[in-house]
Structures are given as structure tokens and as C-alpha cells.
Structure 1
Amino acid sequence: MSAASVRDVEARLLVPAYASFLKRQGKLDVPGRLHRFRDEKSANLSGTVDTVKTGVSRELPPQDPDWFYLRCASIARQVYIRKTVGVGRLCKMYGSAQNRGVRPSKHVDASKSVVRRALQALEKLGVIETNEETGGRSVTPSGQRDLDRMAQAVLEEAENTDSD
């Protein structure tokens, strides 16, 4: 079997698999979780990840407790597919329509803080790096290797379930 890349696998299969890999690895810096244990006063408070909205157009925070891992995996995939991408472009991609009552809905960008923190966490892992020439972020060779390896595993699993 030839080697598979991220472009060969559907996003709906790859992103959850890579998110579970990031969670199992335990090295991803999830914002808010570190601040919980720094002092006793904030030990009872929930972390930033539990209460933050992902954009202005959202009424509630995400209901999935592992949503940050999914967002990081999705961002890693987007940076892989597009050679260089910045925070502004990712905010446009993750934005959605805002309900404005009786007025027509319009597109609003996603939270830049969430995207920036996900990029910083992925940079700390070594999956992506800041591109000095063009600005923005690009995938490192080790990040590309990890994503391609995950894509290959997902593709093999999908073929095994299809043959059964």
C-alpha cells in the first residue's frame, strides 16, 4: 500500500483520530487547566476552556469537554493543507453566521483568542512553526510526519471496516 497523506483522508475521520492522539499524548497545553492548580483560590473555579465561547455568534460554550483537542486537530489539518496560514484566516474559516434577530444574518469571525491559543499549543508541541518569510504558521517536518502517519492509520482502519 502506498503512503497516504492528510489530503487523502476525509476530515470527519482524521480530525477526531488526531484529537484523541493529542489527548492520549498528554503534552498539549490546554489553557485554563494549568491555572487551576497554581494557587488554592482558583482550585475550585472551572478553567478557561470550560467557559469560553468560540465566537461572538455562539450563545453557549461548546458542550464537548474535549472540544479544544478537536479544534487543535482541525487547525493542524488546515495548516497542513494550506502551506502558510495566519490567525486572521483561521478565524474567518471557523466563523459562522450571527443571528441578528429580524435583520438578516451575517458572517462574523471566530474568537481570535481560541485560535491563537490553539496555534501556540501546537507550536509548543512542535507540530507547527512560525514562518518568518511570509508570516503566519506552517507545518514542521515532524508535524507533517505525525499527521501523515495518523492519516495512514485512519485510511487502513476505514479499509478494514469496509472489507468486513
Structure 2
Amino acid sequence: MASTAVTVKDVCPQEFIATYARFLKKTGRVQIPKWADIAKTATYKELPPSNPDWIYYRIATLARKVYLRGGDGVGTYQRAFGGNRRNGVRPNHFADANSGNIRYCLKQLQSLKVVEVDAVKGGRTITATGRRDLDRIAKSIVEKRNSAKN
């Protein structure tokens, strides 16, 4: 039976992000900053994330976003992770996410050689090594799902 190529686009996003986050935590190559346990992901949030491994999930999400659409910068990802600022009795308005968390996660991906700065457009693009690693994780998800069916 010939195996077909599996990419990140072929698997469920939640499943991919959770699997890649577990992989990042298991490898231990990601440095967790001191401020990770008290930092909020956006100014409009009332509390920091309840998951202690939130930074691994944010890194995995950013890796997937760069994979799908490279050339975007921190500002684009701020808007992607932004949300509704609740203004009490006044109407809600959209607010961007914090750029420091996003920038730190992108730098960690750069140190892992998953993404690089695009010299032409600016922003970040996926490297060949990063594409191979993410596709390998996507393939393991599909193989696990297929073995569970049989």
C-alpha cells in the first residue's frame, strides 16, 4: 500500500496544535520565560491563561499559522489572536493581543529553525526543516487515527 503525502492542511487544527505542543514540551528545547505564569495574552483579558502549558500551545499555533500563510509579521498575529474588549455598559470593541508573547514565541520558533525572517517581504516564513517537521507530525496523527480504526 503506497502512503500518500500528508501535510498540516490535512489534519484537524486542534489535534495538530495539541500534538505539536506536547512534542515541544517533551523535547525540552523551548525555553519558558519567567513571566509565563503571570502574563496575560492580551490587555483585554482579565486573567492569565489557566493552562500552565499555554506557551507551548501558542508556539504550536503560530507555527501552524506561519506554515499556512507565510510572510506575516507580529502585527498580523496580534490581530489574529485579538478579541472583544468588554467596556462595561459601553459597546464592545475589538482589541489586539499582546505583541510581546507573540514575538517571544516567534523567536523560539526561529531558534528551533522552524521559521525564519523573510528577507523580501518581511515577516516570518516557514523553513524547509520546519515544513518537514510539521508534516511529519501531521503524518503521525493520520497514522494514529488509521491504526485506531483498524
TM-score (norm 1): 0.87
Partner in structure 2 of residue 60 of structure 1: 47
After TM superposition, list the pairs within 5 Å mapping 1:1-164 onto structure 2. Answer: 1-32=3-34, 48-161=35-148, 163=149
Q: Look up the equivalent residue of 1:9 and give its one-letter code.
A: V
| d(CA) in 2 for partners of 1:117, 1:70 | 13
Structure 1 residues without counterparts, runs of 5 or longer: 33-47
Q: Supply the distance in 2 between the matched residues of 1:98 and 1:160 (Cα, whole angstroms).
A: 44
Distance (whole Å) between structure 1 residues aligned to residue 70 and residue 38 of structure 2 = 32
Equivalent residue pairs, number: 148
Contact 1:30/1:121 (8 A) holds in 2: no
What is the rounded CA distance, in whole Å, between the counterparts of 1:77 and 1:117 in structure 2?
A: 16
Q: TM-score, structure 2 length as denominator?
A: 0.95
**Identical residues among aligned pairs (%):** 39
Shift of residue 85, structure 1, vs aligned partner: 1.3
Q: Give a deviation string over 1:17-73, Cα, whole Å, max 9, x none.
A: 0001111111112222xxxxxxxxxxxxxxx00000000111000011100000000
Write the distance in 1 (CA, Å) between the matches of 2:43 and 2:92: 13
CA RMSD of aligned residues (A): 0.9
Deviation at 1:158, TM superposition (A): 2.1
Give the AA of the match of 1:16: A
The answer to whether the 8 Å contact 2:118/2:124 transfers is: yes
Indicate the residue corresponding to 1:36 in structure 2. none
Letter in 2 for 1:101: G
Q: Once superposed, which parts of structure 1, at least 4 consecutive aligned residues long, lie more than 4 Å away?
A: none
Q: Which runs of 5+ in 2 are unaligned?
A: none
* CA drift at 1:106: 1.1
What is the rounded CA distance, in whole Å, between the counterparts of 2:68 and 2:120 in structure 1? Answer: 18
